[in-house]
Amino acid sequence: MNNDDGSLEGVVAAHTVLSEVDGAAGRLVIRGHELDEIAQRWRYEDVVHLLFEGFFDTLPAASALRRAIGRARREAFELLQPNDDALLRRMPPIEAVRALMARLTDGDDLPTARRLVAAPAVYTAAVMRWRIGVPALAPDEALPHAADMLRMLHGRSPTPAQSAALDTYLVTVCDHGLNASTFAARLVASTGAGLASAVLAGISALKGPLHGGAPGPVLDALDAIGSAANARACWSRRWRKASG
């Protein structure tokens, strides 16, 4: 079902209690909390706990979930094989991460959900290190999730500012209503497939240039600019080219 103009605006495709996106007003509400509030005060793991509430009967306290996510990072790392670097380092990173995520046991329980939250940090860091010819680093399950991801990626402890920046980013992208990857994941989940199957569908949608590919040109533009001093001139050239 769609509108007379062929659009889906206003059509109800699904109901969710997780988030509300108001693009016109520039607002994102996560479980009743304004994004500005939680992005500045909450760790990523605490927002995961907020999103999990009501879906798992055995959900522990937030502090216990943080520790469990740390253990889940270690469990994800233990699934890596000695020849993975040779097999995966030349693949596009998102395809390599998707291949590793496919090793996670499927299911619909809390341990599966924890592993699906934890594993992308482990596998993204591993793949990016393999691409530059260095081995993957094992997680430190005692660290916060964002800090450990940066440590596994760069091979050194991040600064507090770096950890806070990644934590904030992870919080801001944790749930955006019914975007393309969420829709794909929910469609697969509706068939009775497990959570891992649904997440793999979401990753596949995220790979598309019309969805997750959007940041690529932005990163290319930032690389081209190089420094703040070049920003105005670079954007002026791009604007003239775009406007003809």
d(CA 107, CA 118): 15
Question: What is the amino acid identity at position 17?
Answer: V
For 93-151, the pLDDT digits (tens) are 999 999 999 999 999 999 999 999 999 999 999 999 999 999 999 999 999 999 999 99
Task: For residue 130, give the CATH number of its domain.
Answer: 1.10.580.10
Please report whether residue 189 resides in a domain: no
Q: Which domain-ending residue is among 177, 202, 228?
A: 177
Give yes or no for residue 170 having a pLDDT over 60: yes
Please report whether residue 144 resides in a domain: yes
Please report whether residue 119 resides in a domain: yes
Q: Which domain-ending residue is among 177, 203, 225?
A: 177
**pLDDT at 31 (0 to 100):** 82
Q: Averaged over 152-179, what is the pLDDT? A: 92
Give yes or no for residue 87 having a pLDDT over 80: yes
- Where helices occur in the chain by DSSP H, the ranges are 35-41, 44-52, 62-77, 84-88, 93-101, 110-130, 145-154, 160-172, 180-189, 195-206, 215-225, 228-243
User: Is there a single domain that holds both residue 141 and residue 61?
Assistant: yes
**pLDDT at 2 (0 to 100):** 55
User: Is there a single domain that holds both residue 154 and residue 242?
Assistant: no
Please report whether residue 237 resides in a domain: yes
User: Is there a single domain that holds both residue 33 and residue 138?
Assistant: yes
User: Is there a single domain that holds both residue 142 and residue 230?
Assistant: no
Per cent of the chain over pLDDT 70 is 92
Contact 18, 35 (CB under 8 A): no
**pLDDT at 180 (0 to 100):** 87
Please report whether residue 110 resides in a domain: yes
Give yes or no for residue 230 having a pLDDT over 90: no
Long-range contacts of the stretch 35-40 (C-beta < 8 A, 24+): 35/171, 35/172, 38/171, 39/168, 39/171, 39/172, 40/168
User: Is there a single domain that holds both residue 140 and residue 227?
Assistant: no
**pLDDT at 236 (0 to 100):** 83
User: Is there a single domain that holds both residue 131 and residue 243?
Assistant: no
The least confident of 30-34, 81-85, 122-126, 203-207 is: 30-34
User: Is there a single domain that holds both residue 29 and residue 133?
Assistant: yes
Give yes or no for residue 244 having a pLDDT over 60: no
Q: Which has more pLDDT, 217 or 198?
A: 198
With bands split at pLDDT 50, 70 and 90, how would you rate the model's confidence at 6? Answer: low
User: Is there a single domain that holds both residue 124 and residue 26?
Assistant: yes
Count of domains forming the chain: 2
Please report whether residue 58 resides in a domain: yes
**pLDDT at 227 (0 to 100):** 87
Please report whether residue 162 resides in a domain: yes
Please report whether residue 151 resides in a domain: yes
Q: Which domain-ending residue is among 148, 177, 206?
A: 177
Q: Which domain holds residue 232?
A: 216-244
* Length of the chain, in residues: 244
Q: Which has more pLDDT, 226 or 218?
A: 226
d(CA 100, CA 196): 11
**pLDDT at 117 (0 to 100):** 98
